[in-house]
Amino acid sequence: MTARRERYQGNDYTSARLSTKGRFTHTYGRIEARLKLPAGRGIWPAFWMLGADVDQVGWPQCGEIDIMEHRGQIPSIVRSSLHGPGYSGGQNVGREHAVGGGTLQSDFHVYAVEIEPERVRFMLDETVYFEATPDSLPGSGKKWVYDHPFFIILNVAVGGSFVGPPDASTVFPQTMKVDYVRVYARPTP
């Protein structure tokens, strides 16, 4: 997936998004991708999931599972998050994780999530660095919205509130290389 600096329909950049919406959803099990990330200020690669009921209930009521988001200007840190009603955007439930001995752009890494009833676990190269349950939600009365079907999205964005805009140091094109995406089912309880 490649982001380019080029004018298109009034925008300064083009990029790509792959989505399984309307084609494939998954509830419980493991979803993983082996990716080599792009780098640079304002480059925002992501591997994430959105509740399949988004068109009926809207966001964030449908739930969002950010398996991996990366700020291209911070070469060794990845973030995983949950967004739901009352804890979305900058108030999400999530954690950053730093890789040791290099950058996320220097080689392929496996980003994964394991979803069980009332539990979501995030991994980088088989290291679990974040786990969430209904008890992890902030405040009282927050709703757990992750025990239903989700579709998968891979994309490379340019700019945005999470990473800020690219600057003169950002080299284009920027490519996220996708070796594979795998889904492993878990029997429904």
To the query of whether residue 126 is one of the catalytic residues in this protein, the response is no
Interatomic CA distance for residues 7 and 83, integer angstroms: 32
Interatomic CA distance for residues 65 and 42, integer angstroms: 22
Interatomic CA distance for residues 128 and 96, integer angstroms: 12
Q: Which of 6, 64, 96, 131 is catalytic?
A: 64
- Integer angstrom CA distances of residue 71 from 18, 111, 159: 19, 15, 10
To the query of whether residue 131 is one of the catalytic residues in this protein, the response is no
Interatomic CA distance for residues 160 and 118, integer angstroms: 31
Q: Which of 69, 114, 118, 126 is catalytic?
A: 69
Active-site positions? 64, 69
